[in-house]
A and B are shown apart, each in its own frame.
Chain A
Amino acid sequence: MRRLRIIHTESFRLAALFAVLFLGLAGVLMGLTYWIVEGTQRAELERVIDADIGTIENGFRGQGIREAVEVVQQRLGSDATNTDWTGEYIYLADGSGKRAGNLDALDEKVGLMWLTRPYRSPSDGARANGTSLDRGTSGRTLRPANRPDAYGRGTVLGKGVALANDVYLFIGRDTATIVATRTRLIHAFGWVTAITLLLAAAGGSVFSMQFLRRVDAIARTCNAIVAGRFNDRIALRGNDDELDRLAGSINLMLDRISELLENLQQVSSDIAHDLRTPLTHLRKRLEDARDKSTTVDHYSTAVTQAVEDTDELLGIFSALLRISQVDAGTRLAAFHELSLSGLLKELCAMYVPVAEDEGKSLQQRLMDGVTMDGDQELLTQLFSNLIENALRHTPSGTQVVVSVTVLPDAVVTTVADSGPGIPEHERAKVLRRFYRLSGSRSSRGYGLGLSLVNSIANLHGASLVLSDNSPGLKATVSFRRGK
């Protein structure tokens, strides 16, 4: 099964494709080599044959047929132990028939021709003609000579010439050299093919196995998540290859999904648990009204309070929904360029009378013309919450300062007050939903304001940092400046 899967991987297919391409290229090279080498060798043979013909022809022209016969016999050697035979075949004839040579009979044609090598058993041949077919130029045993070669041609290339009207000369050479070269080339090509295929299969398998291992790892992680292990992530190799980048994207997606899931669970449990308290109060109040009220005034007061309790519940509900909506990130689509300076100026103008009525002061230290990409309504709510926090949880006489500063890489906004502040160990906790400082239980609020601020800041890629304003609390929201 695994072997089959390897063959079906993309990397194995790629290896196979490359092997085929390489083999094709090798074949073309081999063919070219063969063509050139054989051409050269054949030209060389023809040159040698022409030279031999020249020698015998010279003898014949000078001193007639007798001299020619002598030259032929010299060339072939008469000694049975002649070891210098170079695979030469000669046939010399005149009107009366064969006069010399190691060929018995020949169709007397003029020009280049191929002959089948006359068969002699090596021992017979050696004895009869003083030649040995064992001793080809290659030093290898020649093939049985009466068989045509692969091309269906003879194995002897020769040339017939008419030296005179009735004098015919044929000189041929064994083509064993050419055949041997061809055989070697074919063998070499065979080896190249075999090695290429072996390497391609091995390499393809190794790559495919690695590929499969990593794909299996991704699939295992995905299955684990399907099975409920939401915190599993795909291990990265860190070499930033295509699978690593894919795995990285999948991990990011999983992070986002588990964030949303956590958010959903958080909201569900918030609704389940934290809405119970105000509901309990409401129920108690209505029960008391039913059981204890005796006058219309009592009832009226109880009902008014019950309506207020309901409104508070609805307020919590809206705030929770707003936080989850912000956390879901769907508002990103509504981002547009807005004037942060203008937004803060309007908010300050809106809250100055509130501050003054409570004996506090609200000052602005705003740089003009600061713009950013964001959601106008949510940013308004963010700064409104921070300013209201500073106004609501501080005593009379407190100074609140709203500022915006542009740094090279960030737009820094702060809302700082000179009130009692938040103890350091509580600062992280106040960002949690429904967390309220012990002293502030009595004042109005659900403990959701800063959670919402935090969510809106996160949506804008910003961070909310609470720090000591000594004295007081300083809330800093730093927006990264767009590149």
Chain B
Amino acid sequence: MNLLLIEDDIELADSLAAGFRDHGHSVVHAADGASGLRLAREPEHQVIVLDRMLPGLDGLSLVRQLRAAGVRTPVIFLTTMSGIDDRVNGLEAGAEDYLVKPFAFVELLARIRVLGRRPADQAVTVLRAGDVELDLLQRTLIRAGRAIELLPQEFRLLEYLMRNANRLVTRAMLLENVWDIHFDPQTSVVESHISRLRAKLNADSAVDPIQTIRGAGYKFLAPS
């Protein structure tokens, strides 16, 4: 993926850029808001990783100007501002995601990969992966021809996993997108629901499409 990293903390930027390259992405780095905005207007970037506090032009204004100019490249904010308002403001300015520093690199990577997916995914009404078929309009799940009953939260969980099939989704991403929970629960909410979903999904099948990535999250495996 082609990434644009706008970050004035050089040490962090170097470390992030090296990490992205290790995972096969190409990175362009800008250290201030003005040059960041200029680079961001170029169409080859697939995801923009943007620091919220920048010298010159701050991240929030940068996103607003970008969106006003019609640039739709997905943006993820990196920020030390963890207030509820800060997140809401960031998303309202036009960013797609918001990650509070410090964060685990694997978390950032997973979010970038999800942001970089084809936008056409959104128009789909039936998600298919192997023998699993999730009808988003009928709210039904069919595996190998057999209908499986899911609770609403289980349905949303599976939908999110399948929309991001073959990509890592972290615990925090699931909490935010399935339950709209923006804090860290002290109990194993995600694990318990995944195990329920697995039990229902795999009741008559030997293949478990939900892969656990230890210490990171889950991945829904879809045969290509």
Contacts and interface: CB of A to CB of B under 8 A. Distances in A.
Interface of A: 310, 314-315, 318, 321-322, 325, 330-331, 334, 346, 349-351, 353-354, 356-357, 375, 377-378, 380-381, 384, 388, 391-392, 444-445, 449
A346 B179 contact: yes
19 contacts: A318-B184, A321-B82, A325-B84, A330-B85, A346-B153, A350-B153, A350-B189, A351-B189, A353-B189, A353-B195, A354-B187, A377-B182, A378-B84, A380-B180, A381-B183, A388-B187, A391-B187, A392-B186, A449-B186
Contacts of B102: 310, 314
Contacts of A318: 82, 100, 183-184
Contacts of A351: 187, 189
A357 B183 contact: no
B151 interface: yes
Nearest to B186: A388
B192 A380 contact: no
Q: Which of A331, A354, A391, A449 has the most chain B CB atoms closer than 10 A to its own CB?
A: A354
Given A350-B179, A353-B193, A384-B181, A334 B84 contact: yes
Nearest to B180: A380
B196 interface: yes
Contact of B84 (A346, A350, A377, A391): A377
A341 to B, nearest CB: 15
B223 interface: no
B145 interface: no
Contact of A325 (B83, B88, B184, B186): B83
A334 B189 CA distance: 27
A152 B183 CA distance: 100
A382 to B, nearest CB: 11
Interface residues of B, number: 25
A378 B186 CA distance: 16
B43 interface: no
Contacts of A314: 102
B84 A357 contact: no
A436 to B, nearest CB: 13
Contacts of A449: 186
Contacts of A354: 187-189, 192
Contacts of A334: 84-85, 88
B188 to A, nearest CB: 6
B152 interface: yes
Contacts of A375: 84
B213 to A, nearest CB: 16
Given A321-B82, A350-B153, A377-B84, A357 B182 contact: no
A334 B85 CA distance: 9
Instruction: Label chain A's interface by main secondary structure.
Output: helix
B196 A353 contact: yes
B70 interface: no
A349 B180 contact: no
A391 B151 CA distance: 22
A359 B132 CA distance: 31
B82 A349 contact: no
Interface in B76-93: 82-85, 88
A444 B181 contact: no
A330 B189 CA distance: 30
A353 B190 CA distance: 9
Interface in B180-218: 180-189, 192-193, 195-196
A381 B151 CA distance: 22
A310 B104 CA distance: 11
Given A350-B179, A377-B84, A445 B153 contact: no
A166 to B, nearest CB: 115
Given A380-B180, A388-B185, A388-B186, A349 B152 contact: yes
* Nearest 10 A/B pairs, CB to CB: A353-B192, A354-B192, A354-B187, A357-B192, A388-B186, A353-B196, A388-B187, A349-B153, A325-B83, A353-B193
A445 B188 contact: no
A377 B88 CA distance: 11
B143 to A, nearest CB: 20
Nearest to A443: B186
A160 B192 CA distance: 129
Contacts of B187: 351, 354, 388, 391-392
A351 B190 CA distance: 10
Contacts of B83: 321, 325
A353 B196 CA distance: 8
